[in-house]
Structure 1
Amino acid sequence: MLKRNKFWLSAVLVAGLALPAFAEEPTADTVVATVNGEKITVGHVLAVKASLPEQYQALPDDVLFTGLVEQLIQQVALSQSLKGEVPLRIKLTAENELNAQRAGYVMDQKLRAAITDEAIQAAYDERYANMEPETEYNASHILVETEDEAKAIKKQLDEGADFAELAKEKSTGPSGPNGGSLGWFGKGMMVKPFEDAVVTMKAGEISDPVQTQFGWHVLILNETRMKDAPPLEEVKGELEAEIQQKLVEQIMADATKGAEITRADEETVPASVLSHPELIDN
């Protein structure tokens, strides 16, 4: 919505709250007002509502209706006061907006037809049907700057020191205040020296010092588990978004491929034309 159009939103909230009484069930063509003979219909009101920000659309009907009608009356009256030929900028903007609305409608229809439960299930099967269960690891670490510090910490742990308490006291990593806990992670999520150490450990085992680019680590493997394929409902939104992205690209490619298109060259219409808005200000 253009910034200047926000002016009209005030009418939504300050207008009266009474809904009109219709003699029969209204349709999109039902007239709600006229301005110098120009009709404003239920369809016009619904179209304006659809263009409002979400917070306004969520308002009750009895708050919105009269305000939207008043907004349209004001816009039509002000529009009618324009004398002479419609400015070129308005004509071009209206053409662009019509094309955008039509394109959006076509895209929406094609996506609705293509993104079905069957399509989502097929995408799920393609990704997860042959997925082998993966091991996930739950580990904690104490991060220090030098190998000597790490060796000293390992000695304390071997002598019975509590890992979490020592992590809170000694670790320089962000997980230190949380007892060094790193939560659950799978292969590829940690730097290689760290991962290489974890995957060889048994639950409850404490590692020798491990060096990474972050410093020296002493690790404890808390437990492991097998990660199976997630349920469809858990990843449905993600799969739907991926399908939609691919479809949008394909739909756009098909539309342009089937059209007879010519383009002006840079010499005829240089990119610098964008710096001349006066070309459409008449």
Structure 2
Amino acid sequence: MPKGLTFLSSMALAAVFALPLAAQTTPDADTVVANVNGDEITLGHVIASVAVLPPQYQQLEDAVLFDFIIEQLVQQQLLSQEQEGLTTRNKLALENEARSLQAVQTVEAISTAEVTDEAIQAAYDAQFANFEGEDEYDASHILVETEEKAQEVKAQLDDGADFAEMAREHSTGPSGPNGGALGWFGKGRMVPEFEAAVIDLEKGQVSEPVQTQFGWHLVILNDKRKSEAPALDAVRNELAQTLQQEAIQAKIAELTEQAQIERSELEGVGPEIIRQTTLIQE
């Protein structure tokens, strides 16, 4: 259990909470699980507390978590009863939190209404219906340290030597043992000089020696294709987020246009006033 909290014994805890729970055959959010000097703690309070726990606490067994949350709420209630009310700072923080939670509720309502399976499918169709794809290349290379060595290997390839065998024998790159195979890649994935050489090749053609910061390369283009549109499930979350953001921004624009918003000018002070926490210390 989290450090820094003390708990009643299991027997004492059972004695405190057995009666309220036993009296409820169909518990709901208003079911009272504890009464602290006349102040009620309900099952709704417990469930709401559990819902916002960090993931590591969510993994606790329900029986352990149930007792722990109730005891935590009891202790908080005891401590809160020592205060007559909230400080100015905490009142303002509570107002900010309430405002934030209500805004989140609006966002959730917008998402439910606008981010539907039908809307996601429509967004997918609009983005990928005419998808033509981009060029992708399957190439292999042989990397050596000098141009002279590259020319020597190129001459052997021109005489009919097998590219993969020559890569395994001569390439100093990590792909050498695999015959120099680089697999499929699109534009922007390789250094410019290497990419330019690949783009200029025909299928099965071997390039002239190409210099990059890694050394000298001989490149063969094994195959070329157009990339395919991603599957709907692969981009579903991205599309949903875009739809949500667009719907929220549209709602904010609508509400802003309809609202009467006045922003006051603060005379004699600058933005640094936001650091003056002494103004809310009452």
TM-score norm. by structure 2 comes to: 0.81
Q: In structure 2, how many angstroms separate the alpha carbons of the residues matched to 1:166 and 1:15?
A: 71
Q: In structure 2, how many angstroms separate the alpha carbons of the residues matched to 1:115 and 1:188?
A: 33
User: Kindly tell me: are residues 245 and 152 of structure 1, through their superposed partners in 2, closer, same or farther at Cα, counting changes over 3 Å?
Assistant: farther
1:245 aligns with 2:245: yes
How much has 1:161 moved relative to structure 2? Answer: 5.7
Residue in 1 that maps onto 2:57: 56
Contact 2:141-2:219 within 8 A present in 1 as well: yes
Residue in 2 that maps onto 1:3: none
- Corresponding residue pairs, total: 273
Q: What is the identity percentage for the equivalent residue pairs of Structure 1 and Structure 2?
A: 47
1:139-195: CA deviations, max 9, x gaps?
A: 1223456533432332344452654663685435x6557654332112454445433
1:211-261: CA deviations, max 9, x gaps?
A: 456654211223334433222122212222222233333333334443322
User: Kindly tell me: are residues 153 and 245 of structure 1, through their superposed partners in 2, closer, same or farther at Cα, counting changes over 3 Å?
Assistant: farther
User: Kindly tell me: are residues 268 and 110 of structure 1, through their superposed partners in 2, closer, same or farther at Cα, counting changes over 3 Å?
Assistant: farther
Q: In structure 2, how many angstroms separate the alpha carbons of the residues matched to 1:222 and 1:101?
A: 57
User: Kindly tell me: are residues 58 and 194 of structure 1, through their superposed partners in 2, closer, same or farther at Cα, counting changes over 3 Å?
Assistant: same
Give the match's secondary structure for 2:141: strand
How much has 1:268 moved relative to structure 2? Answer: 4.6
User: Kindly tell me: are residues 152 and 45 of structure 1, through their superposed partners in 2, closer, same or farther at Cα, counting changes over 3 Å?
Assistant: same
Residue in 2 that maps onto 1:277: 277
The 5-angstrom pairing of residues 197-236 of structure 1 reads: 197-212=197-212, 215-236=215-236
User: Kindly tell me: are residues 198 and 65 of structure 1, through their superposed partners in 2, closer, same or farther at Cα, counting changes over 3 Å?
Assistant: same
Once the two structures are overlaid, the 10-residue window that deviates more, 140-149 or 111-120, is: 140-149
User: Kindly tell me: are residues 88 and 228 of structure 1, through their superposed partners in 2, closer, same or farther at Cα, counting changes over 3 Å?
Assistant: same
Residue in 1 that maps onto 2:129: 129
The 5-angstrom pairing of residues 1-282 of structure 1 reads: 20-21=21-22, 23-83=24-84, 85-144=85-144, 146-159=146-159, 160=161, 162-163=163-164, 166=167, 170-171=171-172, 175=175, 179-212=179-212, 215-265=215-265, 267-282=267-282
Structure 1: segments with no counterpart, 5+ residues: 1-5
TM-score norm. by structure 1 comes to: 0.81
Give the match's secondary structure for 1:199: helix
User: Kindly tell me: are residues 212 and 52 of structure 1, through their superposed partners in 2, closer, same or farther at Cα, counting changes over 3 Å?
Assistant: same
Give the match's secondary structure for 2:40: strand
Give the match's secondary structure for 2:89: helix
Contact 2:154-2:218 within 8 A present in 1 as well: yes
Counterpart of 2:92, as a letter, is L
Once the two structures are overlaid, the 10-residue window that deviates more, 220-229 or 113-122, is: 220-229
Structure 2: segments with no counterpart, 5+ residues: none
Q: In structure 2, how many angstroms separate the alpha carbons of the residues matched to 1:241 and 1:122?
A: 14
Counterpart of 1:107, as a letter, is V
Q: In structure 1, how many angstroms separate the alpha carbons of the residues matched to 2:157 and 2:208?
A: 11
1:96-129: CA deviations, max 9, x gaps?
A: 1111111111111111111001111111111110
